[in-house]
Amino acid sequence: MEKKYVSMKEVTDEDYKNFLKKHREVTIENVELRIGDNRKIEKINPEIFIPESTTVWSFPNRGDWATHNLNPKYRGNWAPQVPRNLILKYLPEPKKNDIVLDQMVGSGTTLIECKLLGINAIGIDINPDAVMVTRDRLNFSLPLKHQKSEQKTYIGDARNLNLIDPESISLIATHPPYASIISYSNERIEGDLSRMRKIDEFIEEIGKFASESFRILKPGRHCAVLMGDTRRHQHYIPITVRMMQAFLDVGFILREDIIKLQHNMKSTRERWRGSKYLFYKIAHEHLFVFRKPMKDEKISEFKESTKWW
């Protein structure tokens, strides 16, 4: 029987304000996150920002501008330097009809950056509480000189983007869960990828996520996906390699494979049994940047060069 995935449902500022009447915190992965506090933004943009120029990225100091400093306890969210680099690289001169999509928006890092850079964006998450965190983090004012833009949020599933038109998205920048390494929801949220322990099942669903991404992305535009690998029984499980192949299988071309170093991660801080280990602690992730081919583009050379799986 073919699986059915939840349809998108918009969450507006009005929905967020009504939510605040009964909630001042939400729980994500057993961590309580405050929402609704009065806040004054001290820094609108990073004091120093140098765009990345190589395929190895390292951000030991997580960005603290705008409302990013409210999310250090949200495990697994990416540093704001990641979406900022992607947006400035692949949408250097955004137009009014350009839209950035993060279909696993989490705590809203990508959408915060879009608001700061004046770019329209859509954020989706299967966990309603995560969407409320995103709406909360977007709740800040910008000086009048900043270009106005709109950031819409939805409860939904990355495998069913039913309210997004085909070939309407200018850039995808997203950070899926790494199978069951961090569970972002409880068992009541059916279909949550972060609760899938079986790697084969996880990769099968990632393929559907890749297919939907291909459908809604404009030809010639880019889809950036950050993911890491894991270990089981002290052996390396290359989730990222299989995820990359899933995107290639639906028609994407691989533009970049960026190694992102990890800092202050729980997995590298933990003290495993014994003073010496039979394995190395994983301290990197892969940021794959895929490109959707132009219509009638000859891509046989690209396909042959990545046909190794």
Query: Is residue 74 within 8 Å of residue 107, measured between CB atoms?
Result: yes
Grade residue 303 by pLDDT with cuts at 50, 70 and 90: low
For residue 79, give Cα distances in angstroms to 61, 153, 174, 250, 264. Answer: 9, 20, 12, 28, 12
Q: Residue range 63-88: average pLDDT?
A: 89
Sign of torsion over alpha carbons 185, 105, 13, 80 = positive
Grade residue 128 by pLDDT with cuts at 50, 70 and 90: very high
The candidate with the shortest Cα–Cα distance to 84, out of 66, 97, 72, is 66
Query: Is residue 112 within 8 Å of residue 80, measured between CB atoms?
Result: yes
The candidate with the shortest Cα–Cα distance to 207, out of 176, 158, 246, is 246
Grade residue 44 by pLDDT with cuts at 50, 70 and 90: very high
Torsion angles phi and psi, residue 305, rounded to 5: -75, -20
How many angstroms separate the CA atoms of 199 and 287, rounded? 19
pLDDT 10s digits, 49-69: 999 999 999 999 888 999 998
Is the pLDDT reported for residue 269 higher than 50? Answer: no
Q: Which domains, from first to last, does the chain contain?
A: 9-40+80-305 (3.40.50.150)
Q: Which residue has the higher pLDDT, 143 or 87?
A: 87
For residue 75, give Cα distances in angstroms to 163, 183, 263, 281. Answer: 29, 10, 12, 18
Q: Residue range 97-107: average pLDDT?
A: 96
Q: What is the pLDDT of residue 279?
A: 85
